[in-house]
Structure 1
Amino acid sequence: MMMFFLRLLLLGAIFSFSSGFAAEITAVTFEQSRIVIRHTGCQAQSLVREEQRLILSFTACQATEGRLLLLDKAITNLHWLSDDSQRAQVIIQFALAQDYAFEIDEQENLYQICFPRCHNLLKQQSELNLNALNQLEKMTLPTLFTLQNKTFLMPLPNMRIEDFLDRSIGYVPQDVVRDGLPHFGSKRDDWLGKSRPHLGYDIYVDNVPVFVMADGVVIRATHSRLSGAYVKVHHGNQLYTVYVHLKDIAVQEGQTLQQGDIVGYIRGPAGNAVEAQLHLEVKINDMSTDPLPLIKDYYQNQAQILQKITHYESLLPQLIRGREQKVREFLEQNGAR
């Protein structure tokens, strides 16, 4: 079957109208290689296929007569009208008699004729919309810190610096024994009878994309039992960021990224995380560093943000003692593993 795409002559991409009937065709448009018929309660009755045209009939439906002229090797025009019996017709006229491919997609108050398939066209449109949304999100990501004259943006969407602090250093996990506290240097695996330092910064979020913080090259994109899916990006000058506890990875090793590109997705807990979260690591000379001093330095002139950081830092000693007590109780009840 012959596949083709239509090019619309700029004589009017959209005709909208209203005739006052309860059930009527309100607009006929040509969008992304598909004819879209919008209506208010019309009932599709039949689709007649002839050598050089398609005729779509609606019952109990009215429409003000209209026409779109199409400049294409395949289709010449699109015409619609109604008669006194309250039957409306949409007629698609083809230039030549040919075996043309099409597909119908019918939804509430919407009827589409797609050339050649609706699924492919709607998927392409969805991808275009997603890309546009991603571009908008990239434009609105706030700066988290600067390092070696590089700007590192927030890696999460719709998150201000205040929200970032609330969901990281200011957050107490639901299972504080196994997940540990979010700050850099907190204890990990002590509930297993051993201990290691936490070399990242946890931000508790769910069902969101994760953005790369600066331009760079993906040097690791893989999975492990403890980390789940994770991505490591080199930003030059021995600066790295690592994005851990992802559910899905959106990049591949060797890929060059622009600041704000999606590296993966948080969708529930991954790896050994009990609660959904992004474990973020910042590495200088490939050595993990605490990002909080970098954040404090960047926002040094914003008193409200510094006050929030100071407040959360003042709570940490008490939170650490409380968690250590819970770990001791856990070990007493369960024994070291």
Structure 2
Amino acid sequence: MKKQYSQLKAMLAITIASLRAILRSPSTVVFSLGFPIIFILVFGSIGENGFSMNVGVSPASDTLNPVYNGLKSMKGITIYHLSDSALNADLKSAAITAIIDIHKSDNAPYDIKLKSSDVVRPQDLQVLKSILNAIIIQSDTSYHIAKLNPDVAIVQAREFREIDRILPGMLGFSLLGTGVFSVAFLFFNLRNQLVLKRFFATPVSRSAIILGEGLSRILFQLLSVIIIIVFGYLFFQFSFVNGVVTFIDMMLICFLACIVFMGAGFIVSSIARTDNVIPVYSNIFVFPQFLLSGTFFSISVFPVWLQQICKYLPLTCFNNAMRVVSYEGASIWSTWKDVSILLLWGVLIYVVAVKVFRWE
């Protein structure tokens, strides 16, 4: 009796062979592990002792007053206009020094209240008070224009380190860059060197080829994620709020992102006619996200209209979900909005990938 050909064994054989090829590729290893670790070393070692004068303005504040205009015109002060929930999240992570609430009052035209957190340095808060008082005096020496409430509302927050913001961004950097570039070059070369055509002479199905090659990349990427996380934990005390549960949630988000980003690589490999244009097409998708998705700095530094675009980018959704899970200790289900947008991107990307993918 003729023995049935095992597609599972064929897929696993392709996976193992492809994984070996990945590990033998210096550029892939450097991009997946080298660059993120270098960025962690650089960004994780700075910012701990620097003075930050970022302030948030409550959405309910009156911004048509001399105090706000004076604060806005001061050099070195960045004002954030975000929702209450976003401002409170930034306050707890010490991304901003305080939230300023300016509203009309009976005692003075404007009453100014401050809200800060216990992780903000007291000297930073004192400097902000001095600046506000100086603006009030400059606007009206009799203090009739506004009054600064001396009582500051303090919210409780967990200690925040720069690594807690940087490491999730570096995971996104690794997953997006390697997911797109490695898959794009891989399938272009397999097609161009007639390897896929030789596969067709065997009983291996096309789905087994795709799954085998894709699985090898997913395994390599998840291994890279584990190494980066362990590196950040051992050398920079990266936080795991809920221990193993937090780690598992992070790995699930990375797994989803890896699949989504690989889809973009399939598209690039199919529309590229030469290997010289692969970096160009890949960077159209990759490079803007490195800059606009909060990988290296918060998207709140951009104009409001650009922030509305940034928050729907797939890498932004990944970064937001990872930071909420890793720093705040939330479950993956609480990040449903960002995960849902990431899933929608995945559906859109693979619909296009199926339409344009070429075997020959």
**Structure that is richer in helix per residue:** 2
TM-score (norm 1): 0.24
- Identify which of structures 1 and 2 has the higher relative contact order when contacts are C-alpha pairs closer than 8 Å and 6+ apart: 2
Give the strand-richer structure, 1 or 2: 1
Q: Which of the pair has more CA radius of gyration?
A: 1
Tell me the TM-score normalized by structure 2.
0.23
